[in-house]
A and B are shown apart, each in its own frame.
Chain A
């Protein structure tokens, strides 16, 4: 049973990353109509940013949790201003191709300087050790990742669904021209949205640095799984992305326990099944 709970925990942690990443993808897609292929690359940049902050500037985990997403978010906003904005009005597929190119550039540059092996990032002192819950041993850091990700996901959901800023954002998704007529600066909003989505991915990167090591290709395979998550969940609903992300992480964890051979394919198989039964995705509207 210990092993089962341990795999469930791993599943929940992966689920947190799926949720944070697919949430960012959904937010970006809503405003920019672009599927951000560079999402895995910016996730990796978040982790590297935390690594540099610690090893170059001596800045620890807690400040990095705020600084890294903001730094990478600003990098994302620069990308949006200099490149992505020129694609508005073109076929969606060009956005996919452009961000795929960006992902190749970012990952290639990091691979040149850091090779393909992982760099260690220590768990902060406050979160070291573990708790005995009676039925299982819970490493504190892993529990923290799950809880903190959940809080960030809910906060993002609240921001978009319940605040005035979020209302403007959703309105601009539906009809940008009309929203501009009300005097709202839509291009600036688009830039900030891209920054937010990228920042969420970078945050996931920082969270995963102590667990998964910091590697240039850490986001490359992850993003493909996240794409499958997005296809399963659909991008129509923020809450849908969060729930689908966590659920698929848990299912993957269970598969690791019951049938390990299928653990890295189970999400894709589920995607196929969902497409056969409900092609629009579990919460999505037709594309």
Chain B
């Protein structure tokens, strides 16, 4: 079986230095967005999806597990956060905490089931689990079914920052994104991340070296789900709603597409992919169902000719790690 990611990586030390430089450039560019007059709502939405795609990428790019149900974390955390803010009247920071914790709990429960199979079975199981949750959310009263939870109040973060102000909200979302991104970056380069990569490459050998691979995979799954949930909780403040679209399988497909376009197993690929796909949806919104068709075409083209993705191709060309 050929690995899904490019492994002609340069020496780790130089790789980390390159990635740190790229990170600083990315953070600076994103911090400058409110000064440029770009529609902040678009960038905030893209940042939430970028974090979501990064969390998904942690699992596929470094653990070799393709989850086709990551929308369940996005949707679950979104529903819990929206409910906590609107019905319980919790402060934003507590709302985010509760939503993220909910996603973590979901990660533990579904992870124990899904981690029992590998490869395509894992993909089918995660897809089926997210569909199960979709039907549950369709029927339970607190999600308000087809209507979703609308008009969620944004409130004051830590009692100081008024999140109804777009600029303040933008920097809060950016801070959340960078925090999540750095956490993933740290995980990938930790001993835990190295073991994960070894499991992806050759699970049998990792087992023979004495690693309890199931525990590593489960932990990676929970971490990925928790961070995806964190992205879902942040997204509530941007969209001010939580709806069934966020739990639907088409959303899971979009997460996969973003990561594939940017580059599976690259550090910055999911971010680029998320911006590309969200921008595409924004510009093509008038074309109705053709957006689905175009997404399908991108899938096909990427798989057939462009498997490294945007960042993967750039990194390969310059023989750098990004």
Which residues of A does B touch, CB under 8 Å?
A: 35, 83, 86-87, 89-94, 96-98, 100-109, 111-112, 221, 224-225, 227-228, 230-231, 261, 264-265, 268-269, 271-272, 275-276, 279-280, 287
From B132, B260, B296, A103 is in contact (CB under 8 Å) with B296
Using Cβ atoms and an 8 Å threshold, which residues of chain B touch A100? 253, 256, 296, 299
**What 15 new A-B contacts, CB under 8 Å, besides A83-B300, A87-B303, A231-B128?**
A90-B2, A91-B3, A93-B120, A94-B303, A97-B303, A101-B296, A101-B298, A101-B300, A101-B303, A104-B296, A108-B295, A227-B128, A231-B124, A265-B135, A268-B129
CB-CB under 8 A from B215, the residues of chain A are none
Verify B296–A97 contact, CB threshold 8 A.
Answer: no
Q: Beta-carbon contacts of B108-123 to A below 8 Å, as 1s and 0s?
A: 0000111011111101
Contact (Cβ within 8 A) A92 B120: yes
1/0 per residue B280-295: CB within 8 Å of A?
A: 0000000011111101
B128 & A228 in contact (Cβ 8 Å cutoff): yes
Check B297–A230 contact: CB distance below 8 A. Answer: no
Residue of B nearest to A264 (CB): B135
Q: How far is the CA of A264 from the CA of B1 in the complex (A)?
A: 36
A264–B302 CA distance with the chains assembled, in angstroms: 34
Contacts of A97 in B (CB 8 A): 256, 260, 299, 302-303
Chain A residue with minimal CB distance to B294?
A: A108
User: Nearest CB to that of B125 among chain A residues?
Assistant: A231
Q: Are B124 and A109 in contact (CB under 8 A)?
A: no
Contact A230 B124 (CB under 8 A): yes
Residues of chain B contacted by A89 (CB below 8 angstroms): 2
Q: A94-B303, A101-B298, A227-B128 are in contact. Are A261 and B113 (CB under 8 A)?
A: no
* Set of chain A residues within 8 Å of B139, measured between Cβ atoms: 261
User: Complex formed: what's the CA distance from A97 to B139 in Å?
Assistant: 30
User: Are the C-beta atoms of B116 and A105 separated by less than 8 Å?
Assistant: no
Pick from B3, B4, B118, B128: contact of A287, CB below 8 A: B118
* Residue of B66, B132, B288 touching A93 (CB-CB under 8 A): B66
Q: Which residues of B contact A103 (CB under 8 A)?
A: 296
Q: How far is the CA of A287 from the CA of B120 in the complex (A)?
A: 9
Counting CB contacts under 8 A, is B304 at the interface? yes
Q: How far is the CB of A235 from chain B (nearest CB, A)?
A: 9
Question: Is residue B21 contacting chain A, with contact meaning CB distance below 8 A?
Answer: no
Count, A-B residue pairs, CB within 8 A? 133
Which residues on the B side are within 8 Å of A107 (C-beta)?
292
Task: Give min CB distance, B145 to chain A, whole Å.
Answer: 13
Closest to B3 in A: A91
Q: List 13 A-B contacts (CB under 8 A).
A: A93-B120, A93-B123, A96-B68, A97-B302, A100-B299, A101-B297, A101-B302, A105-B296, A108-B293, A228-B124, A268-B131, A287-B117, A287-B118
Q: Which residues of chain B are near A276, meaning CB under 8 Å? A: 112-113, 116
Residues of chain B contacted by A108 (CB below 8 angstroms): 289-293, 295-296
Contacts of A224 in B (CB 8 A): 127-128, 131, 249
- Contact between chains at B66 and A96 (CB < 8 Å): yes
B117 pairs with A279, CB closer than 8 A: yes
Which residues of chain B come closer than 8 Å to A261, judged between CB atoms? 139
Partner among A83, A90, A102 whose Cβ is within 8 Å of the Cβ of B296:
A102
With both chains docked as a complex, state the minimum distance between the C-beta of A20 and any C-beta of chain B, in angstroms.
Answer: 18
CB-defined contacts of B118 to chain A, threshold 8 Å: 287
Q: Identify the closest chain B residue to A110 (Cβ).
A: B289
Residues of B within 8 A of A90 (CB): 2, 307
Q: A92: shortest Cβ distance to chain B, in Å?
A: 5
B136 within 8 A of A: yes
Task: Determine whether the beta carbon of A104 is less than 8 Å from that of B295.
Answer: yes
6 A-B pairs with the lowest CB-CB distances in the bound complex, closest first = A101-B299, A104-B296, A105-B296, A108-B292, A108-B293, A268-B132
Bound-state CA distance A113–B132 (Å) is 30
| CB <8 Å contact, A272 and B129 | yes
Report B63 CB to chain A, min CB distance, Å: 12
Q: Are A102 and B300 in contact (CB under 8 A)?
A: yes
- B119 lies within 8 A of A92 (CB): yes
A108–B295 alpha-carbon span in the complex (Å): 10
Determine the distance from Cα of A244 to Cα of B214 in the docked complex, in whole angstroms. 28
Q: How far is the CA of A231 from the CA of B68 in the complex (A)?
A: 14
- Whether A98 lies near B249 (C-beta < 8 A) is no
A104 touches B4 (CB 8 A): no
A98-B300, A227-B127, A231-B125 given; A104·B132 CB < 8 A: no
Q: Are B289 and A112 in contact (CB under 8 A)?
A: yes
Report the minimum CB–CB distance from B76 to chain A (whole Å).
Answer: 16
Identity of the chain B residue whose Cβ is nearest the Cβ of A228 in the assembled complex:
B128
CA gap between A131 and B197 in the complex, in Å: 62
Chain B residues near A91: list those with CB within 8 A.
Answer: 1-4
Report Cα–Cα, A108/B3, bound state, in Å: 31
